[in-house]
Amino acid sequence: MFGFQHEDMNFDELVESGIPTLFIDLDVRENRAGFISSDNEEAVQRVMQYLVGLQHRRISFISGNKESYANRFRLEGYRAGLAEAGLPYRGDYVAEGDYTREAGYRGMKELLALSDPPTAVVCCSDMSAIGAMEAITEAGLSVPGDISVVGFDDIELASYVRPALTTVRQDRITIGRKSIEMLDELINDAELAPPETIVPTELIVRDSCGPAKSKQ
């Protein structure tokens, strides 16, 4: 398995070589290369449904790396969730990040500086969500009393931070197992079409989300 990004120097050569290749979180289905990923778009759309159910209407988004596959589909899920709830998409509610704690902190600071800051934020990773919570606390606000926070990944730290982080759990065991199985099938069947598999996720509800304040 390989984890190249599109801008990598040898990416095209690898795909064109015909070497059986299985990418994770990179939507390539060409020649002898396929991919596997979590249901990024559907996962974030479910998060949006959950937050809307808690009466949040000002929901923001802290992105991952702008050009990454996962970020693209998680942003689509965010936009789909807004549309489903009849809420407008606001560019100023989308803060650029890179999945890191530092980017989450910076992004949340930008969102808090708005004249009408969000009451909930969806982050593209748990680490950026933890950074966002730090910025919220530093501003003298509480999670989830003032702002609800949701992450993505369900890393081990997510259940230990306070408040414990509501997040999307990726099924890493299934992704790893199916990656090996799919690659083995590609190696042993020269006629096999490039595979594509999307693995379901699970919303893990913990303590970092709560009902929106009545005035929105």
Higher pLDDT pick, 31 / 146: 146
pLDDT number for residue 5: 42
pLDDT number for residue 35: 84
pLDDT number for residue 203: 98
Q: What percent of the chain has pLDDT over 70?
A: 88
| pLDDT band per the 50, 70, 90 thresholds, residue 105 | very high
| pLDDT band per the 50, 70, 90 thresholds, residue 1 | very low
Torsion angle (degrees, nearest 10) of CA 80, 85, 87, 89: -10
Q: What is the pTM of this model?
A: 0.88
| pLDDT band per the 50, 70, 90 thresholds, residue 30 | low
Q: Which domains does the chain have, with CATH numbers?
A: 40-169 (3.40.50.2300)
Beta-bridge partners for 38: 199
Torsion angle (degrees, nearest 10) of CA 23, 27, 32, 36: 50
Q: What percent of the chain has pLDDT over 90?
A: 72
Q: Residue 200: pLDDT above 60?
A: yes
- Among 7-11, 53-57, 141-145, 188-192, the range scoring the smallest mean pLDDT is 7-11
Integer Cα distance of 179 and 72 in angstroms: 22
| pLDDT band per the 50, 70, 90 thresholds, residue 195 | confident
pLDDT number for residue 17: 62
